[in-house]
Amino acid sequence: MFKWYGFLGILMIIFAEFTMFLRIQPFATWFLPIVWFGYIFLVDSTVFMLKGNSLINNRPKRFITLLCVSVIFWYIFEIYNQFIHGWHYAGLPESRAITFAMGSISFATIVPAVFETWELIRQFHLFNSRMIRIKFKISKYLLYASILTGLIFLILPFFYSKPFMWVFVWTGFVLLLDPIMFLLHNEKSLLWQVKKRKFNTVFSLFLAGYICGFLWEFWNYWQLTKWYYTVPILENIKIFEIPVVGFLAYGPFAWELYIMYHFVKLLFSKKFLGGVAGI
């Protein structure tokens, strides 16, 4: 059954598009959070229709948690942006308080949007264990090397401020945190799932990143309050406002959000200290 908030989501998307193209204020300025919450409601209701349960309907506390961690995660990336200047905003309200509120509400939609899209893709079982027949052996030396590399990747941008450092940021958290989760025998680790040849999550997340990325750029292209990029490689070849090289980061970005969320969840679990002692 298609839930009632799915219809609300459709109406919110239509309303956001209508008021944005007609420049009806204040809705045109608040276009991004309106359209993305509409998208989230629509996709969640579709997931419920396909599998009989969904994030909002069956796990509302987790949904609220995703909203909160999404804001925190994106402000972490905003801190990096102060050093390596990957994007800047235009058309922001004059009031800093309104800008902060609008930005925070918009940032809250990022992780839920990716997770809802990932959950929708998973329902079609596009990726299974028979896709790749190779058996993966993951040594501790490789894991420790990945952790060290990820740590370097996340520290270096603070000292070497070049736009291409975003490659390090968009991969650093995965390289650092996923091997730690693997060593703790956490089944949410992407490496753990690759080792067990469970590819549905890995590739569905990757695809979800590009779907959301396309929609972020599509809606950003038309809105009044928007962002522009600084990407020094093939910067004239764009998908809407983003250079195509920058667009390639959306797949790894989805992995990163997934790993960051589950690592934070692991930190607050009772199993964490016991797992650390057993490494």
pLDDT tens digits for 171-187? Answer: 999 999 999 999 998 89
Q: What is the pLDDT of residue 168?
A: 95
43-85 pLDDT, tens digit per residue, is 999 999 999 999 999 999 999 999 999 999 999 999 999 999 9
Q: What is the mean pLDDT of the chain?
A: 90
* pTM exceeding 0.75: yes
When pLDDT is cut at 50, 70 and 90, the band that residue 240 belongs to is confident
Provide the 3-class DSSP secondary structure of residue 238: strand
Phi/psi of residue 88, each to 5°? -145, 160
Nearest residue to 207 (alpha-carbon basis) of 262, 253, 260 = 253
Asked if pLDDT for residue 236 goes beyond 90, the answer is: no
Q: What is the pLDDT of residue 164?
A: 81
When pLDDT is cut at 50, 70 and 90, the band that residue 12 belongs to is very high
Mean per-residue pLDDT for 93-121?
Answer: 95
When pLDDT is cut at 50, 70 and 90, the band that residue 129 belongs to is low
Q: What is the pLDDT of residue 268?
A: 82
160 or 120: which leads in pLDDT: 120
d(CA 125, CA 111): 22
Residues 46-70 as b/e (b if ≥16 CB within 10 A, e otherwise) read bbbeeeeebbbeeeeeebebbbebb
